[in-house]
Every structure is written in C-alpha cells, then in structure tokens.
Structure 1
Amino acid sequence: MSMMRLLGRKRVADSASPETIVLEGSRGRSGGSHGRVVMAMGVVFAIYAAIGVRLVHLGMEEEPGVNLPSNQASASRPDLVDRNGEVLATDIKTASLFAEPRRIVDVDEAIEKLLTVLPDLDYEQAYRRLDSDAGFVWLKRQLSPRQQADILALGIPGLGFRTEKRRFYPGGPTASHILGLVNVDNKGIAGMEKYVDEQGLADLQALGLAARDTLEPVQLSIDLRVQYLLREELVSAVDRYKAVAAGGVVLNARTGEVVAMASVPDFDPNNPHNALDKDRLNRMSAGVFEMGSTFKVFTTAMALDSGLVSINDSFDATRPLRFGRFTINDFHGKRRVLSVPEVFIYSSNIGTAKMADVVGIEGHREFLKRIGLLDKMDTELPEVARPTEPAEWKKLNSVTISYGHGMATTPLQTAVAGAAMINGGKLIPPTFLKRSEEEAMAVATQVISERTSQQMRYLFRLNAEKGSGRRADVEGYYVGGKTGTAEKVVNGRYSNNVRFNAFIAGFPINDPDYLVLVIIDEPKPEREGLSATAGLNSAPMVHNIIRRAAPLLGVKPDFGHEAEALLVSTQ
C-alpha cells in the first residue's frame, strides 16, 4: 500500500513537473517584456512632455522687438499755402516697405519676386540687407498704393509696411525753387521748406509736438496763378529763343512781397531726381550775373540824386572813351551830345560812364551799397548768393560797372533795388511771406528822394515809348522799363554773340504797384535776320507777363489816361 501510494505520487509528480516548469518559464519572460514596454512608454512620454513644455515656453516667450523708426507724428509738417489760401505743399500718407531679415526664408527668391513690382530695386544692396541678422531694414520708402497691393499679393514672409508722411506738391514744378524740398524723413532741406524747419519746426518734431492738428498753415506771399503764368512764359521763351535758361520775378513794389518767381530749367519736387543738376540752379536768387544795361537805372538815379547832375543836363557821346587798351563805345551810337533822357533811352555807355564819373568812385560804390547791391540779400529763402565786386575800385571799374559790367549780383537783388528807384525811393527787403504795407514801411529805408524816384518813373515810361522797351508796353497798363544786354565772358573775353539779357519794368509806372524783371541766358535770334538783344526777347517776355498777370492782380486798365511820359515836376 505504501509502495503504491509512493508510486502514485511519483507519477503525479512526474506528470505535473513538466507543466509546472513551462508555466514558471512563461511568467519570467512576460515580466521582462512588460518592463521594457513601460520603459519605452516612459521615454516617449518624456519626449512629448519636453516638446510640450517647449511649445508652451515658446508660446509664452515674447518675440524680439522690431526696431521701427520713432513715432510718425514727429514728421508732420504744416501746409504751405499761397496768398489766397491755395495749397502749395501738404502731407499725405504713404506706405514704406521694410523687412525682418531673420524671418526671410529664401533671400534670392524674395528679391526676385520684389523685382517684378520694384524693377529699380538695387539687387546687391537688397541682398546685403536681407542676408543679415538685423531685426529691421528698410527696403523701399514711399510706395504707391498700387505697389503696396502688388507686394502684398506676392505673399513673401518677413516683409511689412509702415505708414509714413510724404510731402506732396500739387503744382509739381510750378514753384519748385521757392518751395524747395524735403528729404525721405520729411525734413526740409531747401527753399521755404528748410526755412520753416529753421523757425522751430525741427525742435517741435524732436519733442514729438508737431502733430498735424497743431500746425497752422504757413502763408506765402506768392500768387499761384501768377506763378503759373510766369513759369509758363519762361518755358515758352527758352523754346522760342533756343536759350540756355530763363528766369523772372514779379515783385510788389509797395510791400516787397515776391508775388511770383521762377527759374527754368527747374525740377519737380514730387520726384526731385535732377534737383541738384547744375542747370537746375535757382538763377534768380542763387546765381550772380553781370546785369548789363539794367544797371544804367542805378547809375542814372545815383547821378540825379547826388544833385551833381540834372535831368536837363547833356553829355557828349560823340567819341568812344579810352582807358589804356580798353575802349568804351555805344552799341548803336548817335555820335552826338545826348541829354540825360537820351542817354537812358538810347542806352549810351559813353553817357552813362560820364555820369558815373561826375559822382566819383567812392560815391558810386557808396550808392550801390546803399541800395543793397553789394551785400548778400536778407530774405527767408536760404538759397541766396553773395554779389561780387572788384577787390579795389579804380576808375575803369567804376566806368564799366556804370553800365553793368565788372560786378555781378542776383537778379532778385536787382529787382529789389529797381523797385526802390520807382516806388518813391524806399528800399524794402524782399519777403516770401505775406506782408502788409504797414509792415513793409516799418522795415523800409529811404535810399533816394521822392523827386529822384519821380524822375526815374518818367525815364522808364519814356523808354517804353521811344526807346528799347517799346515791345514791353501793354495798352492800358502804362508800362515803363529798361533793357539790359550783357555780353558774356567766354574763354576769358567778352563775346559779341553770347549774351545774358534782362528787362526791368514797373506798372502802372505813374504810381507803380508791381515790378517785373526777367532774364534770358544765351538767347538766339528768333528768326534769321534779327539780332538777339534784350529789346527783341526779354521785352516781349515782360509784355506777355504783364498782359496776363495784371488782371489777376487787380490792376485795372486805364485806356483814358494820358499815355505819354510826363515829368510833373523837376523842382
């Protein structure tokens, strides 16, 4: 029994033993695999957790700031308006293109796309700017709305637009030399724009106080209508006489206000790509010239005002004057004794030189200085040249200067001095800002007597009737004036056929409201057989300007007034 039990137990044990071994082996392998799975899951979880933490961190992190320019309000400028309130210059909003180089994915591709909209974009410069670690770079300032829309349509990441102020000149080149220019940051760099900055606008901008709604318009003295027609006549004259350049000014003889002033060729301040070209110089205030026979106005006034010469006196112009190797002659000499009015209307160099000689060298220079022709002109416009004169005045210098050779001054300065000769003798500093007669009289200086001024008005009118100024006369407006034909220096010598012509006129000359002066540089004869003297080109220019401008300025024609020159009194 015992043996059988033992055997039975043995069988059971033998039969059970393999199964037991298998189960135990299975359990050991399953436990190791499970651990590895758990470990792998833990690693994956840790990686995703790290990514998640990083994403959250990045989402909460502030992006690096873009170094944009300062607040745009600081660049606002006041409007410039004419004497009647017409806008000459104003600010408009425009878009400027910038980039954040760190966000540009493909620099070459970005530039190639931009070139389809901005063909004038400098490839190399743009590449250097975009291929950098800068946070902000300008690519193109002051875009048109169409350009902005086309660039947006390109879908280039890393580009943006900034709204800026741009200066806009509705009249284009009409008054460019007066208004001047601003740079890309809307700062005045020339003309009245620069003047406005110098009067405190730049300081307000620096303090951020130059907001659009706090800036009052700046009212200029010019009349846009007259300015337009003056420039139009100058452009026409350059074409008609095949000239190098032309210029002109309309000056209020009672207030010194510059009603219009232009010099052509000029430029468009909306697109001033050629503003600095040499031929675009503002010849009226920034250029100096020998003004030729217009200077006989001052020599005659000097002689009469000195009391040493009477309007009834005469001078012998029979023979030329000789100074060493120099000979002073008349262009169309009468070869006889000439009265003072005849010296003026026949533009006699000989007679004028003899009048200057009566006054003397010192008196001559003192008179020109008194009427402002030897000093730099004082006015708001920054572009003003200084006159030139001989380092030492000798008799020959005085003689040649008497008829407009040997010293140079600006045409605007000549006009200002000319106004004093006919407005009662008052030298009034010119202004490009609106000014009343009362304000003008407060700064005026009496430089010649009223009697001398009256005599000069008589001579002006006489020259328009019987002298070289006949083509300047306008029926009903009682014009008077004086021509100036100056030979230009070519290769160190005066040339007989290269001229700088001018005409100075007042109207109505019996009681002048306005003075007009025009210049034309190197004019050619209008047609074969004619000469190119001032009486044939600058005088007709003045005629056209006065004919068109007088009605706009409120000067009424007088067809019933005695048209002939009358000398009311010589006492």
Structure 2
Amino acid sequence: RGDVLDRNGVILATTLPTASLYADPAKVIDAAEAAEMLAATLPDLDYDAVLAALTSSRRFVWLRRGLTPSEHYQVNRLGLPGIAFQNEERRYYPHGPLAAHAVGFTDVDGTGLAGIEKTFDRELRTDGGPLRLSLDVRLQALLQNELQVAIDEFQALGGAGLIMHARSGEILAMVSLPDFNPARPEAGPAIGRFNRTTLGVYEMGSTFKVFNTAMALDSGIAGLNDGYDAREPIRIGRYTINDFHPQRRWLSVGEIFMHSSNIGSVHMAVAAGTRRQQDYLDRFGLLAPPAIELPEVASPMVPTPWREINTMTIAYGHGMAVSPLQLSAAVAATVNGGILLTPTLIPGDRSDRPTGTRVLSAATSDTMRRLLRLAVVSGTGGHADAPGYLVGGKTGTAEKAVGPGYDRRALLSSFVAAFPMTSPEYVVFAMLDEPRGNERTFGYATGGWVAAPLVGRVIERMGPMVGLAPLDPEAPEIREALHVDLPRAETAGPSLAAFAN
C-alpha cells in the first residue's frame, strides 16, 4: 500500500512488515497455560477469549494481528506449541493522531475505512507510488497545539481549526479535537473519530455577517455611505433581536460590520430579500455539501420553509448550519477577488486547477478586505491582530440549539481570519465548543475573547514558516490599500428609504 505524504514529503502513513499471531488448537498441549502466558505477555488480550480460541475445533484461529517487533520477540521466546506467526503488513502512522481525520485509517487487512485512506483506497493499493497531500505537517502541529491549549484553558468540549490557501483552495491544516490514534481507532471514544471540520455543521454566529455585508454591497442594496437605524431592538412575533455591543444610533454599513450589529445586519438582509439571500448563500457554496476528497462530509442544515424570520436570523448566523470547511472556503472567496474555489487536500500546479466560480465582483472583494481589517483594528476582532501580518477577520458567537430554543450558557465561539489583507494568501479558522470564560477574559467566552487570540497566535507563528515577512501597517501604501472611509450615519441612506417603503 502506497505511502501518504504531506506537501513537503513528510510521511503521514506508511506500510511496514509485521508478524501476526495465530494458533492451531489441535497442536496446543495445555490451552489454559498457553492462554495465561499469552494474556500476561500481551495485556490487551482477554484470557477467556484466548482460551476459547485455543480450545475450538478449528485448525486456524487468529489471536492477535499486527504485533510490534518487541511483542513478536516476547511471544516467540515463550516457545508455546501450536502457537505460530504469519508475516503480514501493518499500516503505520508516524505522527499518531496528528492529521488523523484527514488521513483516516485502514482495517487490519489494509482496506481504507476513513479519510484519504478510504477515498483513495484503490489507488493506494494498486499504484504503489506515494500520495502527496496539501497538508503541511508543521502547520498541522502548530494549529493542533494552539487549539488544544485554548480548549484546556477554557474547558471547552472540543474544537475545530483550518488553514486554507485563499488562492488555490488547498487545505494546509485540518484539526478536529478531540482526535484519535489512527493505528487503533477503536480504542478511544467515538467522538474522537468525528471530524468537526467537515462532518460537523454549526450555526456560525456573526461570521455570517461577512456574507450578509458582501451581499448588500455587491447587489447594490447598500453602499458604505448608507445607514440603518440600530437604536432599538427588532421585535418580530415573540422574538427580539438585540445587539451584543449596542451603539443605540444610526449606523453606516461599515459601522454595522465593525461593531457586529445584529440589528443593522437584519435591516440589510430584509432589504435584500429572501430570494437574493438564498442566491448569494448558494453562490458562496453554503447551501450544498462541499466537494473535498473525504467521505466524511455533511450537508448544511437550511430552513424549510425559509420564512422572513429565517432571513433575519441567518443575517447574523442563526437558523442555518454549515461546516467550518464551507465557511472557510466562502471567506476565501470573499477576500481573494471574489472567486469560489473547490477546497482540496491534493496539491497541484495552479494551471491544473479549475478557475473557480465568480461569486462577487473584484470591487466588492476589495471593500470586504478593508472591512475585515477594520473589524480587527477597530472592532470586535482586536485580539486576533498579529503584528506585521495585517490580519482581517470576523468574530462569531452562537448559542447552541437545545430543544425548541437556545442555551445562552452553551456557546460555539469562533473566529475566521485572512492575511495579509493587502493581498490575502491564507484563511485561518478556529472554533471552540462550549468554552467557559475565565478571569483573563473577564468571564467572557465569546469568539472575540477565546477564538480570536488563538487565531492571532497561529498567524504570528505560521508567518515565518510560510515565508511571509512582517509588513509595516503604517506604511503609506498599506494605509492607502486598507483605508475605509467610514461615515457616521445620522439619517437613512437611499437603500434604507427603499426598505422603509
């Protein structure tokens, strides 16, 4: 079976010769003694199960597949009659759980059961050559380390993280925690084998304001100079929509994004209308399962029927659920010039790649880059700023659905970033499942407090690894490239007047 490599040729999965233990019960002299000695030598063997095998009427019974060299030696020196070995091959994962959800695993006979091992099972069995992935084991280890540190600090149930190349769609790191040992996937709890990045779908909270704002700007529903009334909560039926950081005044479109205003975002979504919202979410690839070389991919959860209240709540990331992979790919399209690329785990020349699908104009993408940078410099994403790397991004905090409502104490806290915002190369996403605030965060467990700092640390550490030199944010050409003319909205702009009618 062929090796699986990372993009730099580091082995992620390989096949080694091994010995497997079997018995011919007819040749076993003292089954009870043999079972006792084998169970003492290989502690994971069950005495009763081994005894039953050694006293069966069959002439061939497996006792243990895939012995290590040390185990092989220890059993062989017992000199037990009727106990023998068969030469086989065993799949070996040198980095253990690192990248386990992407690489996947095989059964004892070398058949791929999950991940890349399953998708490319036939190729790995027959081609003989190695399969190179887009993953970078250095970035994988970095992201896993930072995510685990945050999970431990905030006592979260788990987490997910992705690093994607914004201009090719290649996945450089894919982390889901808790994870598992691919050499023995059955040994840990089942939740460890669940890939949160592709198989988990979540209400993503305010990160969806990226798409809501892009829709309003790209469709002409609103411009940066237009404003919406965010003085009072929005009441519809028995629901009330509030702002977490209320400004209690008219807000321009840029201010709505910077302050992460739910109220302003809802006004924009209603002005755009349900059909336009559905159209743009579909363009962004958020209404269908993502295409990636993994069998573990979930479909998004969308409202049926799609009512006005759904249009409102989806504007700020409640009422529909998508995977972290879908969100990251859509953000990449938002900042890379407006082109949606198919996320992939297989590297290749840019000439080999599909050109992608245009979902936004280049002008809208340029404006969104500026707004995302503004959200970090002056808005809710300040803790993600990594000096010299011109980070832009958006916080997301969503209450988890419990029964017919939401649990305010159970949060999904996330942050999605791109950098450098003058010409984005990378998208970094991180999410924590039910984090708990602590003294350092003043009790807050929102995306801006628990996920944004994590992403900032990842970017600061990965920058040198990928060869990006820090930039001076005060350089005139950079200030000009990222400048946002942010008027303070005092009255309704033309798009609000249209909505009022």
Give the alignment's TM-score, normalised by structure 1. 0.82
How is 1:81-96 mapped onto 2 (pairs within 5 angstroms)?
81-96=5-20
Q: For residues 61 and 187 of structure 2, what CA distance do their matches in structure 1 show?
A: 27
Q: For residues 35 and 160 of structure 2, what CA distance do their matches in structure 1 show?
A: 45
Match of 2:309 among 396, 407, 423: 396
Task: Determine the structure 2 residue equivalent to 1:447.
Answer: 359
Q: For residues 217 and 561 of structure 1, what CA distance do their matches in structure 2 show?
A: 45
Task: Determine the structure 2 residue equivalent to 1:146.
Answer: 70
- Alpha-carbon deviation of 1:551? 1.1
Task: Determine the structure 2 residue equivalent to 1:227.
Answer: 140
**Contact in 1 for aligned 2:178/2:191 (Cα 8 Å):** no
Task: Determine the structure 2 residue equivalent to 1:359.
Answer: 272
Match of 2:194 among 281, 287, 290: 281
Task: Determine the structure 2 residue equivalent to 1:540.
Answer: 453
Match of 1:156 among 51, 64, 80: 80
Structure 1 runs of 4+ with >6 Å offset: none
Q: For residues 484 and 418 of structure 2, what CA distance do their matches in structure 1 show?
A: 16
Match of 2:395 among 479, 483, 487: 483
Work out whether 1:191 is the aligned partner of 2:115: yes
Match of 2:475 among 558, 561, 564: 561
Unaligned runs of 5+ in 1: 1-76
Q: Secondary structure at the match of 2:387?
A: coil
- Alpha-carbon deviation of 1:510? 1.2
Q: Deviations over 1:8-44 (max 9, x none)?
A: xxxxxxxxxxxxxxxxxxxxxxxxxxxxxxxxxxxxx
- Alpha-carbon deviation of 1:163? 1.4
Task: Determine the structure 2 residue equivalent to 1:107.
Answer: 31
- Alpha-carbon deviation of 1:540? 0.1
How is 1:158-173 mapped onto 2 (pairs within 5 angstroms)?
158-173=82-97
Partner amino acid, structure 2, of 1:256: G
How is 1:315-464 mapped onto 2 (pairs within 5 angstroms)?
315-440=228-353, 442-464=354-376
Task: Determine the structure 2 residue equivalent to 1:68.
Answer: none
Q: For residues 360 and 328 of structure 1, what CA distance do their matches in structure 2 show?
A: 18
Q: For residues 325 and 67 of structure 2, what CA distance do their matches in structure 1 show?
A: 38
Q: Deviations over 1:331-356 (max 9, x none)?
A: 12101000011000100001001111
- Alpha-carbon deviation of 1:502? 0.8
- Alpha-carbon deviation of 1:284? 0.8
Q: Secondary structure at the match of 1:174?
A: coil
Q: For residues 4 and 150 of structure 2, what CA distance do their matches in structure 1 show?
A: 29
Task: Determine the structure 2 residue equivalent to 1:21.
Answer: none
**Contact in 2 for aligned 1:254/1:437 (Cα 8 Å):** no
Q: For residues 461 and 153 of structure 1, what CA distance do their matches in structure 2 show?
A: 66
Partner amino acid, structure 2, of 1:510: T
- Alpha-carbon deviation of 1:398? 0.3
Task: Determine the structure 2 residue equivalent to 1:121.
Answer: 45
**Contact in 1 for aligned 2:180/2:192 (Cα 8 Å):** no
Task: Determine the structure 1 residue equivalent to 2:494.
Answer: none
Q: Deviations over 1:225-282 (max 9, x none)?
A: 0110000001100011111111110000010000001011111212323455125421
Partner amino acid, structure 1, of 2:259: Y
Q: For residues 460 and 267 of structure 1, what CA distance do their matches in structure 2 show?
A: 35
**Contact in 2 for aligned 1:101/1:132 (Cα 8 Å):** yes
Task: Determine the structure 1 residue equivalent to 2:431.
Answer: 519
- Alpha-carbon deviation of 1:567? 4.5
Match of 1:180 among 88, 100, 104: 104
**Contact in 1 for aligned 2:335/2:366 (Cα 8 Å):** yes
Q: For residues 475 and 352 of structure 1, what CA distance do their matches in structure 2 show?
A: 30
Q: For residues 369 and 275 of structure 1, what CA distance do their matches in structure 2 show?
A: 37
Q: Secondary structure at the match of 2:77?
A: helix
Alignment size in residue pairs: 481
Q: Secondary structure at the match of 1:434?
A: coil
- Alpha-carbon deviation of 1:359? 1.0
Q: For residues 339 and 144 of structure 2, what CA distance do their matches in structure 1 show?
A: 28
Q: Secondary structure at the match of 1:172?
A: coil
Task: Determine the structure 1 residue equivalent to 2:156.
Answer: 243
Q: Secondary structure at the match of 1:396?
A: helix
Partner amino acid, structure 1, of 2:429: L
Q: For residues 471 and 402 of structure 1, what CA distance do their matches in structure 2 show?
A: 24
How is 1:289-300 mapped onto 2 (pairs within 5 angstroms)?
289-300=202-213
